[in-house]
Each structure stands twice: as structure tokens, then as C-alpha cells.
Amino acid sequence: MDRFIAGIPRRSALTGLGAVAAALVLAACSAPGGSASAAATSGPVSTDVGSGKITLSILVDTPGVAGTEKLGALFTQKYPNVTIKVSGDEFTNLISNASRTLSSGTVPDITRTSLGVLVKDNLLQPLDGYAKLYGWDRWPASQFASSRSNAKGSERGTGSLYAVGNGYGLTGVYYNKKILKKIGASVPATLADFEKSMAKAKSAGYAGIVTNGKDGGVAYPLQNLAIDYGGVAAISDWTNGKAGASVKTPAMIKAAQTIQDWSDAGYLVSGVNSLDTTSAPAEFAKGKSLFYTSGNWQAPSLQKSMGSDVGFMLFPAQSASQPQYAMSASESLVIPAKAEHKDAAAAFLNFIQTDSRARQITVDDFGLAPGGAAGAETPDAVGVVKDTLTAFAAAVKKDAVVDFLGNSTTSMSLTLIPQTQLLVTGKTTPAAFAAKLQSEYANQTGQ
């Protein structure tokens, strides 16, 4: 599964990911230090790591171990009394075993997981106090939106802060510069331009779009189209789990119809439903299609394989004057409520967001855009990796980011993936597609 379809961002084996793009779900939420829930008042917090020797245990998904160890080595240089011990497990195991792990007698000091029931069961340390001490509450509030939750764990984007990450993912569109030039087109500025470019590419013997239909990639352009057609409010409410939210809307039905039309027109690469997060970028790198819809976590590998022939842009809006939206969500690094070294854990979370060397690792090793204070120094980057950082900054500046459809509930991706596969093969209708998503949302949220 691609890393941003599931309930929280998942790492791609290609990139050894770390966090995901500016967890920004539009800043209809308060800053990290405000609006704490009742569960957020758990004891004093401090920035003092102390001088006694301690071992800080960090549990992440397996592909993130190497990068996290690099971050840990830097942290130990600053705090020699702290030893960092990093362990890894498969992403699905982290999520399915989270409640058991965090309620056991031995818990990690930091781990990567989702929120939901862990918030409801008071298994996570609220981070509002640390946000105030470290100044995160003065950073762009949208960075922390998907990491906030109400006390019931049922709605994100509001309530207390429970997670942060070292960086953020960002969806958009990669384009092959050689093919663009060959068909006599320029980087599309509008959705109409985008569709015209795909038509030209098909006429020249190329696919318009390659994406990983096997594990959810079709949801990226689908969600962008729904925002293009109906605005972001309904999508934002739905991905945050807001009561009464719905995607059974004319905009979603029209978006699904457009995806189906693109498939019928032959714009999608042949066999799109058989391509996963490894094979889809490989097909794109071979020059099989003009566009590849994915996220910044693929940029480092595409930079290596395609060099200056690949570029990155945000998905186009209907009008060049409208904001171009991107999907983004935090990696959700949390401090368990039973963690032994909470203050040291918070210091580590602050360090990976603010230290210039750590931020560079976020870009180089994880392929992600670092968050942080407004105006924070941007790490060095070239080529398409630099393109993704530029696009990230533009989206954040305009608050043009929203969480993923698959994040609306802890298991929505299990419905979203097969339904998009049925959509592109014409085995469901756009109306039935939207109705199925909404029905599953109602079943899972009890709304």
C-alpha cells in the first residue's frame, strides 16, 4: 500500500520514509498549545533532559529504522547522556498491536501509530504542554491539524495535540519533461490543460497517467478532482471524521465520473490496477507515461533514476487563479502515556523538527518536507526533490492542504482501494462508488 492511503501515512519500501507532509488539514484548528481536552492535563512537563544516563527507546516501522538511527545519533551528540535504541516492526503490526503494546508493562518512549482508540483509552501523552514550552504553538497551526484529536478519538483536526513528525509528505504530479517537450505541451496550469496534455500523450503513444492502482494511488487524483469540483470543506470534514460529514456529494460523483472517463479514454496506463508503489514509479521512470500521481516520498528515487528529466507540480485546479491543493498528513510519532522518559522523548521530537542537520536527513533519507517555524531554513536540495519542497511551501502558505480520504477512519482504505479499482474497470458507477464510501464511513463511525 502506498504510504498515504491508510489510516496514517505508510512508508514505501523505496524511500525508507519518515514523516509525511505538513499534516496540514487546513487551519480550521487552533494552535498546538490551545484547546486541550480533559485528558490533556496529565502532570508537569519540562525541557530538562537531565544529566543521568538514560536509554530512549523508539519503535518505528521497519523501513524507517535506518533514518531514525541517524537522527538518534545526532541527538546523542547534543545530549551525550542519552542513548537512542531504535527498533522496527511492520506497519500493520504497529497499528494492530498498538493498544496491547502501549498498555503493557514495557512501552517504548516514542512510537509511530494512529490516534483514535488510543486517545479514547488515555494511552497517549498529550503534547500541548510541550508545544507551549518548545514554541510549537507559534508555528503554522495547520502543520499539526491531523495530529490533534478530541477526547473520544473520533474527530481529528481539533482538541489536544498527540503526535508530531520530523517531516511531511505531499501529493502532486510528477511529469516527464522529455515527453512534455515531444508532444509540444508545457506544464499544465489548469485542469483543462492537464487533460489536453494527456490526450496529446495518448496520441503520441504514451499513457497519460501511471499510478499504483493496486494499493490505492487512484485515490490521489480522485480526491483532487473532488476538491476542484466542490471545494475543500466537505472533504476536510470527512477526512477529519467530523459528525455529519459526507462524500456522497455531486462533487465526488463528478470526480469519480472523471476518473472513469479517463480510464475509458485510455489515459490511465494499461493494467493500472496491477501496479503497486514499487512498480508504478518504475514504469514512469521507463518513460511509459507523461504523468505520475504520487507524493514527495518518491522524489529521491526518481531523482536518481531520471535526473533532470522529471519535474513535480501540485495537481492543477480548474482555474489558474484558484489554489492547488495537496494531500498531507503527519507520520504520528507519539509519546505513550506510560513512557518512562517523557521529557527526553519530547526533546527528541523537538530536535528532529528544528535541528538543521536533522531537517536535512528528513529530506535526503526520507524524501519529505520538514515542517517547523514559519521561515525556518530550507534544507539543501536539487532537481525534483527541490521541486517538492517548493511546492510544499506554496501549499502551506495558502493553507491548501488536506488530509487523505483513507484517513477518515482507521480502516477506510480497505474500502477505498477496491472501490477505486472497480471504478476504473467500469464495474461500479460513480454514484454507487460515492454511496459505498459514505455507507462504510457511517458503519465505522456509528454516524
What CA–CA distance (Å, rounded) separates 170 from 368? Answer: 8
Using a 10 angstrom Cβ sphere, with 0-12 exposed, 13-18 middle and 19 or more buried, the burial of residue 408 is buried
Global pTM value? 0.83
- Spatial CB neighbours of 258, under 8 Å, sequence gap ≥ 6: 225
**pLDDT of 19 over the 60 cut:** no
pLDDT digits 0-9 by tens, 54-98: 999 999 988 889 999 999 999 999 999 999 999 999 877 888 889
Query: pLDDT digits over 168-200, tens only?
Result: 889 999 999 999 999 999 999 999 999 999 999
Q: What is the mean pLDDT of residues 206-232?
A: 97
Predicted local distance difference test score (pLDDT) of residue 14: 29
Q: At 173, which helix (H) or strand (E)? A: strand 171-176
Distance CA 53, CA 66 (A): 23
pLDDT at 366 over 90: no
pLDDT, one tens digit per residue, over 393-443 is 888 888 898 989 988 887 788 899 999 999 999 999 999 999 999 999 998
Residue 329 has a pLDDT of: 76
Task: Look up residue 150 and give its three cell numbers.
Answer: 478530541
Q: Write 248-251 long-range contacts (CB < 8 A, 24+).
A: 248/434, 248/435, 248/437, 248/438, 249/434, 251/226, 251/227
**pLDDT value of residue 42:** 54
pLDDT at 420: 98
User: Looking at the predicted structure, is the pLDDT value of residue 211 above 60?
Assistant: yes
Local confidence band at 376 (pLDDT 50, 70, 90 cut-offs): confident
All domains in the chain, ordered by first residue: 38-168+329-379 (3.40.190.10), 171-327+404-445 (3.40.190.10)
Query: What pLDDT, on the 0 to 100 scale, is given for residue 303?
Result: 94
Inform me whether the pLDDT recorded for 21 exceeds 50: no
Which residues touch 309 (CB under 8 Å, ≥6 apart)? 176, 177, 178
Rounded mean pLDDT, 218-242: 95
| CA 399 distance to own-chain centroid | 15
User: What's the pLDDT tens digit per position in 261-320?
Assistant: 999 999 999 999 999 999 999 999 999 999 999 999 899 999 999 999 999 999 999 999
